[in-house]
Amino acid sequence: MIDVLFVVDDKTDVPAVLNKTSAMFSVTRVLATALEPGHVAGARVIVVHAALRSVDEVARIEDACDEARRRDDCIYVAKDTDRAGIVQAESVGIGRVVASHQPVEDVLAAIQGILNRELAHSLKDQPAQVVQAIESTGMLFRQVASAMRDDAPLPLRLLSASSQNIGAAIESVGLVEWINAVEMHHSQTCRHILMVAGYADAFARNLGLSANDTLVFTQASLLHDVGKLFIPISILEKAGPLTDQERQAIMMHPLRGAKALRRGGRAHPLVVEAARSHHEYLDGSGYPDRLTDERISPLVRMLTIVDIYSALREERAYKAAMTPRLAITEMAGMKGKLDPRLFAAFRDMVLNPVFGSQRSSRDAEAVSADDCLVNGLHPLDRATPVRNVARRATG
Ligand SMILES: [Fe+2]
Ligand SMILES: [Fe+2]
C-alpha cells in the first residue's frame, strides 16, 4: 500500500507539491479520467489536485471513494479562486480543502494528520507506553526533519524522551510485543528506526550497560539513518532494482546525516559518529570511510549488528522478512565484518526463546554499572558479566 495517491487532471501543475510530498511519503499519481476504485483502495491518503470541472472526473472520484468508503481520507487542493471546485469537492463529500496558494507544508500537514489518525486507530489496542513511544518518536522525526530543513537546533529533549519512552515500552510489554506493534506503522523508514531502537535497548539491557550508555546507544539508533531524510521515499522504498545513481544517493546518507547532526549542534559526539559510521565493517569493506578494526568504536559495532539484523527481519517493498534464525545465519556468513564477541552475545539474545517476551525493569546492578560505551570501552572487556537472559524470564 502506498501513502498518497495524487488525482490530477491534464491541466494540473503539481511538481512543487508532488516533489515535496514524494520526499516524505510513498506517492503515485493518476489522471482523474483514469481513476478506478483499486487506485483509492491501494492508498492511505487521496489528494485530489484537479479542477473538478468535468462531469466524468467528478463521477469517477465520487464512485471510487464511495466504493472504498474513503472520503474521510481525501484532501482537495483548490486553486486560489476555485470556488466552484471547492463546492464540487464538498458535494462529493471531501471534507478537507487546502488552497493551492497556501504553503506546500499545509498539504503535507493535512496528509500527516490523516496518517496519524490511521496510526492511532491501528494502535488503539496497544498499551499506553507503546503508543506513547511510537507517537513521540513520530513527532521526533517530524521535528528533526523540519530542523534540518530550516537549519534549526535539533529537538534534543524530545530525543531523550523518545529513547526513554522506548525503554519504558519494552520494559512494559517485552521486545516481541514492541516489534509487533511497530510493524503496524505505515512508514517503512519509521518501522526500521523503531525496530533498531527496540533491539538496541534490548541489547544494551542484555549486556547490563549503564543507564547513560543505554541512553546514548538508543539515541544513536534513533538518529543513525537521519541522512535518509534527504533522500526521496520513491528511492528509499523503491520496489524494483536501484539504478547506480539511486544506489549512490542512498550511500550518501551516512555523510549527509552526520553533517546535519553536527550542524544542528549539541548531539552527543557518539551519536554523530554512529550516523556516519554505521555501515563500516571491521575488514575495511564498509563505507563511507572504509574504517577498520580499532577505528570503529564499540558503540558503532553494536549499532551495525542491530541495524543489519533489523533490516533482515523487516519486510520491505523489494524483499520478504527473514526469520530470526535465518537472519542470524545470514549475519554469521559476514566473516570478518562484525565484532565476533558482540555478535555472539546478540545472537544468543535474539535466539533465546524467553528473552523476547520478558517484561522486567532494569536491574539495579545495571543502572549503577560503570559507563563503557561513552568512554570507548568494549562492553565485554569489563568486569560486569553479560546477563543470563533465561534467569531473568518473567513471562
Ligand atoms: Fe544506514
Ligand atoms: Fe538503518
Q: Phi/psi of residue 391, each to 5°? A: -65, -25
Same domain? 99 vs 175: no
pLDDT at 393: 32
Average predicted confidence (pLDDT) for the chain: 85
Tell me the CATH number at 95.
3.40.50.2300
Q: End of a domain among 59, 87, 113? A: 113
Question: Which ligand does the CA of 312 lie closest to?
Answer: 2
The C-alpha cell that represents 303 in the structure block: 549499532
- Examine residue 21 and state whether it is found in any structural domain, yes or no: yes
The C-alpha cell that represents 159 in the structure block: 530525543
- Examine residue 118 and state whether it is found in any structural domain, yes or no: no
Catalytic positions = 228
How remote is the CA of residue 248 from the centroid of ligand 2, in Å?
16
Same domain? 66 vs 148: no
| Residue 386 clears pLDDT 60, i.e. is over it | no
Instruction: Give me the torsion for CA of 300, 304, 306, 311, rounded to 10°.
Output: 150
Return the closest-CA partner of residue 23 out of 137, 145, 117: 145
The C-alpha cell that represents 230 in the structure block: 534527504
Same domain? 203 vs 351: yes
pLDDT at 1: 80
CB-based burial of residue 221 (10 Å sphere; 0-12 exposed, 13-18 middle, 19+ buried)?
buried
151-165, 222-236, 319-333 — most confident range: 319-333
| Residue 110 clears pLDDT 50, i.e. is over it | yes
pLDDT at 48: 87
- Examine residue 289 and state whether it is found in any structural domain, yes or no: yes
- For a pLDDT cut of 70, what percent of the chain falls above it? 90
Average confidence (pLDDT) over 140-145: 85
Range of the domain at 10: 2-113
pLDDT digits (tens, 9 = 90+) for 335-361: 899 999 999 999 999 998 777 666 666
pLDDT band with cut points at 50, 70 and 90 for residue 32: confident
Same domain? 108 vs 127: no
Tell me the CATH number at 181.
1.10.3210.10
| Residue 327 clears pLDDT 90, i.e. is over it | yes
How remote is the CA of residue 149 from the centroid of ligand 2, in Å?
21
pLDDT at 368: 65
pTM: 0.81
Same domain? 104 vs 240: no
The C-alpha cell that represents 107 in the structure block: 498539504
Contact 314, 326 (CB under 8 A): no
Q: End of a domain among 113, 136, 164? A: 113
User: Which has the higher per-residue pLDDT, 172 or 328?
Assistant: 328
The C-alpha cell that represents 179 in the structure block: 516489534
User: Which has the higher per-residue pLDDT, 335 or 187?
Assistant: 335
pLDDT digits (tens, 9 = 90+) for 46-95: 988 887 777 888 888 888 777 656 678 888 887 766 677 777 777 777 77
pLDDT band with cut points at 50, 70 and 90 for residue 383: low
Same domain? 204 vs 258: yes
Whole-angstrom CA distances from 96 to 45, 77, 109, 275 are 12, 9, 12, 38
- Examine residue 203 and state whether it is found in any structural domain, yes or no: yes
Residues with CB under 5 A from ligand 2 (ion): 225, 307
| Residue 284 clears pLDDT 60, i.e. is over it | yes
Residues 6+ apart with CB under 8 A from 248: none
Per DSSP, helices labelled H in 72-231 are: 83-91, 104-122, 128-150, 156-173, 175-182, 188-206, 211-223
How remote is the CA of residue 313 from the centroid of ligand 1, in Å?
15
How remote is the CA of residue 31 from the centroid of ligand 2, in Å?
35
Return the closest-CA partner of residue 202 out of 172, 167, 242: 167
How remote is the CA of residue 195 from the centroid of ligand 2, in Å?
10
| Range from 113-117, 170-174, 311-315, 316-320 carrying the lowest mean pLDDT | 316-320
Give the torsion sign (CA, 251, 253, 259, 261).
negative
Same domain? 100 vs 183: no
| Residue 247 clears pLDDT 90, i.e. is over it | yes
| Residue 202 clears pLDDT 50, i.e. is over it | yes
- In a 13 Å sphere around the CA of 148, the CA atoms on its Cβ side amount to 20
- Examine residue 247 and state whether it is found in any structural domain, yes or no: yes
- Examine residue 342 and state whether it is found in any structural domain, yes or no: yes
Q: End of a domain among 54, 83, 113? A: 113
Same domain? 136 vs 75: no
d(CA 166, CA 363) in angstroms, rounded, equals: 17
Same domain? 265 vs 295: yes
Same domain? 89 vs 35: yes
Same domain? 319 vs 371: yes
Inter-axis angle of helices 128-150 and 211-223, nearest 10 = 60
Q: Decide: helix, strand or coil at residue 319.
A: strand
How remote is the CA of residue 319 from the centroid of ligand 1, in Å?
17
Question: Which ligand does the CA of 308 lie closest to?
Answer: 2
Q: Decide: helix, strand or coil at residue 387.
A: coil
Average confidence (pLDDT) over 219-248: 89
| Range from 166-180, 242-256, 334-348, 376-390 carrying the lowest mean pLDDT | 376-390
Contact 227, 256 (CB under 8 A): yes
- Examine residue 166 and state whether it is found in any structural domain, yes or no: yes
d(CA 292, CA 337) in angstroms, rounded, equals: 9
- Examine residue 55 and state whether it is found in any structural domain, yes or no: yes
- In a 13 Å sphere around the CA of 238, the CA atoms on its Cβ side amount to 14
| Residue 387 clears pLDDT 60, i.e. is over it | no
Question: Which ligand does the CA of 276 lie closest to?
Answer: 1
> How many domains would you assign to the chain?
2
- Residue for cell digits 483499486? 38
pLDDT band with cut points at 50, 70 and 90 for residue 390: very low
Same domain? 357 vs 235: yes
pLDDT at 210: 92
pLDDT at 389: 44
CB atoms inside a 10 Å sphere around CB 32: 23
| Residue 231 clears pLDDT 60, i.e. is over it | yes
Question: Which ligand does the CA of 195 lie closest to?
Answer: 2
| Residue 394 clears pLDDT 60, i.e. is over it | no
User: Which has the higher per-residue pLDDT, 363 or 273?
Assistant: 273
Whole-angstrom CA distances from 221 to 58, 67, 173, 248, 261 are 47, 42, 20, 22, 13
Whole-angstrom CA distances from 63 to 1, 17, 26, 76, 84 are 20, 25, 24, 16, 20
pLDDT at 230: 85
Average confidence (pLDDT) over 309-313: 96
Contact 272, 262 (CB under 8 A): yes
